[in-house]
């Protein structure tokens, strides 16, 4: 059931607007957006007509709650830099990830205008950061503002051909507590164990529906680039890449090359025993898109068959498709686009949450207040 037409949302840490895209596909209207990155703001503005009136560029710690209009939902895909294995692991009280507390401050200062619902999104490492103390602090902070909390995990690979598990939390103000929970793909053992070990937190765990997984593969989202396209690497660079594979991955590559069919793999370069190595993934699912802060963060496409092979980076259009944002307009250079998509949320995952969780709750609250 779509939400009432007056259901409005604010997206904090908006990035390039994929949270907005997912919510809009479920009937929501985003009336406020905030991000600190002007490059991401530019990508956002290329795609949304109303950006000039509601996108607020700047540090969340310097924002006044008065700038936020009346809303039913606030979303926060706050920086994962200090929570992920790829980052510094300094935790939620340090560095970029401490921006979460700027978001909490705004909610607190909204007082009687506080939104009925909050949607958090971050890496799964948020759950285990500092042995769980970071996640506990965050959930307790929402409890202190009157929210009950419901965490679950969604993997983008259930919707698109990209491995991207993410931890989501839906918080609803004034809800009754519910601790009944069972292990499922959406609530893996580590999450169930955390809930069981922190029963004093005000949980409200909903019965989430089964997800029918999409059957789209990597090959389905690739651009059909001709062999002489400049995106394909020169022969020497492609040979160097192949030379970076381990014995096992070279055997995989050779098998792909010798097949009388075209097949694809993705690859990242990883440092193994002090040496940069290329590792292939051949299950039809791309690895998790990342921000290209170094050469190892750029995802590589390996195409092979009929005795030949070719190598290139994934294109921005392919990255958009891997995030479920097939119609997204891209008018920026390669690295800027890769940064934007590497920090974004999977659009159909957000739409699924909105349709199966946010919309029913929002409609119930609106009907109860009528």
In this model, does residue 295 exceed pLDDT 70?
no
Structural domains in the chain, CATH included, are: 8-213+338-369 (3.40.50.150), 224-314 (no CATH)
Measured distance CA(42)–CA(48) in Å, rounded:
10
Query: CB of 343 within 8 A of CB of 291?
Result: yes
pTM for the whole structure: 0.93
Distance, CA of 59 to CA of 182 (rounded, Å): 39
Beta-strand pair 117-123/73-76: parallel
Backbone angles phi, psi at 215, to 5 degrees: -105, 15
Q: Which pLDDT tens digit goes with each residue over 164-218? A: 999 999 999 987 777 788 889 999 999 999 999 999 999 999 999 999 899 999 9
> Among positive and negative, which fits the CA dihedral 205, 166, 56, 58?
positive
Model confidence pLDDT, tens digit, residues 332-363: 998 999 999 999 999 999 999 999 999 999 99
- The SS3 of residue 45 is helix
- pLDDT of 227 > 90? The answer is yes
| C-alpha distances in Å from residue 109, one per residue of 7, 67, 213, 223, 342 | 21, 11, 40, 47, 31
């Amino acid at each position: 059931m779509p939400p009432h037409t007056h259901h409005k949302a604010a997206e904090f840490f908006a990035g390039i607007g994929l949270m907005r895209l997912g919510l809009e596909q479920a009937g929501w209207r985003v009336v406020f957006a905030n991000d600190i990155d002007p490059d991401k703001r530019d990508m956002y503005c290329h795609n949304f007509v109303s950006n000039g009136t509601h996108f607020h560029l700047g540090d969340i710690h310097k924002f006044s709650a008065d700038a936020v209009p009346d809303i039913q939902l606030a979303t926060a895909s706050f920086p994962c830099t200090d929570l992920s294995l790829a980052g510094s692991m300094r935790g939620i009280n340090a560095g970029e990830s401490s921006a979460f507390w700027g978001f909490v401050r705004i909610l607190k200062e909204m007082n009687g205008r506080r939104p009925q619902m909050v949607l958090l999104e971050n890496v799964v490492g948020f759950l285990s950061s500092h042995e769980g103390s970071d996640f506990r602090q965050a959930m307790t902070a929402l409890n202190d503002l009157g929210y009950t909390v419901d965490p679950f995990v969604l993997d983008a690979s259930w919707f698109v051909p990209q491995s991207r598990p993410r931890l989501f939390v839906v918080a609803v103000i004034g809800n009754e507590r519910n601790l009944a929970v069972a292990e499922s793909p959406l609530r893996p053992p580590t999450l169930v164990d955390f809930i069981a070990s922190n029963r004093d937190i005000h949980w409200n765990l909903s019965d989430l529906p089964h997800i029918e997984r999409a059957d789209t593969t990597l090959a389905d989202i690739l651009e059909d680039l001709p062999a002489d396209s400049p995106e394909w690497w020169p022969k020497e660079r492609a040979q160097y890449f192949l030379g970076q594979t381990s014995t096992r991955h070279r055997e995989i590559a050779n098998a792909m090359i010798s097949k009388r069919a075209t097949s694809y793999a993705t690859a990242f370069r990883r440092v193994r025993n002090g040496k940069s190595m290329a590792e292939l993934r051949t299950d039809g699912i791309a690895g998790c898109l990342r921000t290209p802060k170094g050469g190892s963060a750029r995802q590589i496409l390996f195409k092979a068959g009929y005795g030949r092979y070719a190598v290139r980076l994934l294109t921005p259009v392919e990255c958009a498709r891997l995030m479920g944002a097939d119609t997204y307009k891209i008018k920026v250079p390669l690295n800027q686009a890769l940064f934007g998509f590497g920090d974004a949320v999977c659009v159909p995952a957000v739409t699924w949450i909105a349709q199966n969780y946010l919309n029913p709750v929002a409609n119930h609250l609106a009907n109860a207040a009528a």
